[in-house]
Amino acid sequence: MERISIDPITRLEGHGRIEIFLDDAGNVANAYFQVPELRGFEQFCIGRLAEEMPIITNRICGVCPEAHHMASVKALDDLFAVESPPAARKIRELLYMAFFVTDHTTHFYALGGPDFIVGPDAPPGERNILGVARKVGLDIARQVIGCRSRNHHIIQLLSGRGIHPVAGVPGGWSRPVTSAEQTEVVEAARQNVEFALFTLQLFADIVLANPVYRELVTSDLYLHRTYSMGTVDADRRVNFYDGLVRVVDPDGNELVTYPPSSYMDHIAERVEPWTYLKFPFLKNVGWKGFVDGPESGVYTTTPLSRLNVADGMATPRAQEHFDRLFATFGSTKNDKGRYQPVHHRLATHWARLVELLYAAERMLELAEDPEIISPHIRTIPDPRGIKGSGIGSVEAPRGTLTHHYVTDKRGVLQQVNLIVGTTNNYAPMAMSVKRAAEGLIKGGEVIEEGLLNRIEMAFRLYDPCLSCATHALPGQMPFRLLIRDPQGNILRELGRNL
């Protein structure tokens, strides 16, 4: 078979490659989205004290350390059977909203957005943040940089560091918010709301108003009918920090709503020999392979999935854009008052911007809350109350993130399980890449670079963070160490297993 390799794939966090195999007629026989890197974070955390985990796990990734920090401290709350004070929970969520603003901004303007703002067929050297700046103008580029700068400042203000937070502790938060800091955060949040509204208008002007892009977004090329997963609050609205995990089928019917602590009753993981990343699936539906439909246990946990499972948004202006998105795709509400899911995967870019506005509005609500400056920000855990197991979950920008720690009676880790957003989305990412390849590569047609980029767009819409997602496989990984002389001759060969 003829083989086409896209290696490395671009504009993502981590490393990956796409392998496409063509039959004798020049059509796609199969396509693989491979993750060749191995991290093994779960394994080398074993033997450490559980309270170190918020500092260790946020080193998994420099793009989303806040998500791991937050899931970790929530797991410690559960492990030590301690409830954080209301002010601490609000500070945590306030920090998390600032993080969501920066992360979604980064993806739209630097990772996924260039495919639309600059164009999917533009030269590779232009499909980047610099190309975006040239296309939209320096004034808009300054707004993007300013948004990231002010929110990283807020993250540092609240958490002690601008990249890897350190303020989260079992039972709460390690430093209070002062009145002066509250004023500063309120102003930053107001600017975030205006920036989010501006970005949504930019998306409408550049993407939705362009017939070519609109047809691309609404076409079947990037469509898959899978289950959707996301966290919702008590009113079944989108929530990033806390709530219940809800799963709906491709028609929008609720399959299950469960507390994060019971994730093992609903999620199983499959291993394939050609990649280091696992494939989670819905245990009660079962693994049917890389296929969609209600009979397949494949699910997604993306911004679009979060909107699909929710009855609405918890802030007013985000709700307006939520309604606009579903109306554009002709979605109607079912008898439960919930929109029929949207399965056009490129709509995830739009959903991400709706979430950007929600995060900005929610950040402003929390910043203006008088309780945010309360000095009561921690409940000291009783070490005698350690449960032996703790589970924490948040919605990371890329999907539902779960940390599960098992310890001995001293709090020393015996087992660690991390299911991150990108891992949840691995099966649908692989399916989307294959579908795009099948739809774009036809026998006898010239395969140009722009066409290959449109295949990359199939994974890029998920905003994967592969450095977060890769873990040790069951069993051992053999490798060889070769010692060569200057001429390249093998002097000695050592073998061992990790």
Q: Which two tokens stand for residue 449?
A: 């670079």
Per-residue model confidence (pLDDT) at position 470: 60
pLDDT in tens, 307-319: 999 999 999 999 9
Q: Taken in order 105, 108, 109, 111, is the CA torsion positive or negative? A: positive
SS (H, E, C) the chain: CEEEEECCCCCCECCCEEEEEECCCCCEEEEEEECCCCCCHHHHCCCCEHHHHHHHHHHCCCCCHHHHHHHHHHHHHHHCCCCCCHHHHHHHHHHHHHHHHHHHHHHHHHHCCHHHHCCCCCCCCCCCHHHHHHHHCHHHHHHHHHHHHHHHHHHHHHHCCCCCCCCEECCEECCCCCHHHHHHHHHHHHHHHHHHHHHHHHHHHHHHCCHHHHHHHHCHHHECCCEEEEEECCCCEECCCCCEEEEECCCCCEEEEECHHHHHHCEEEECCCCCCCCEEEECCCCCCCCCCCCCCCCEECCHHHHHHHCCECCCHHHHHHHHHHHHHCCCCECCCCCECCCCEHHHHHHHHHHHHHHHHHHHHHHHCCHHHHCCCCECCCCHHHCCCEEEEEEEECCEEEEEEEEECCCCEEEEEEEECHHHHCHHHHHHHHHHHHHHHCCCCCCCCHHHHHHHHHHHHCCCCEHHHHCCCCCCCCEEEEEEECCCCCEEEEEEEEC
Relative to beta strand 279-282, strand 267-270 is antiparallel
What is the value of pTM for the model shown?
0.93
Relative to beta strand 28-34, strand 168-169 is unpaired
Distance CA 334, CA 329 (A): 15
Distance CA 260, CA 239 (A): 13
pLDDT in tens, 401-428: 999 999 999 999 999 999 999 999 999 9
Which one of 40-49, 160-169, 251-260 scores highest in mean pLDDT? Answer: 251-260
- Which of the four pLDDT bands, split at 50, 70 and 90, describes residue 474? very low
- Which one-letter amino acid corresponds to residue 377? I
Per-residue model confidence (pLDDT) at position 337: 84
Distance CA 17, CA 456 (A): 10
Mean pLDDT of 130-156: 94
449: left (phi over 0), alpha (psi -120 to 50) or beta: alpha
- Which of the four pLDDT bands, split at 50, 70 and 90, describes residue 36? confident
Distance CA 155, CA 176 (A): 13
- Which one-letter amino acid corresponds to residue 475? G
Distance CA 267, CA 275 (A): 20
Per-residue model confidence (pLDDT) at position 477: 38
- Identify whether the C-beta of residue 104 lies closer than 8 Å to the C-beta of residue 355: yes
pLDDT higher at 135 or 318 = 318
Per-residue model confidence (pLDDT) at position 296: 98
Q: How many residues does the chain have?
A: 498
Say if residue 495's pLDDT is above 60.
no
> Of the ranges 82-96, 291-305, 351-365, 480-494, which one carries the lowest mean pLDDT score?
480-494
Q: What angle do helix axes 316-328 and 348-367 make, rounded to 10 degrees?
A: 170
Say if residue 496's pLDDT is above 80.
no
Mean pLDDT of 474-497: 54
Nearest of 389, 472, 359 to residue 423 by alpha carbon: 472
pLDDT in tens, 372-401: 999 999 999 998 889 999 999 999 999 999
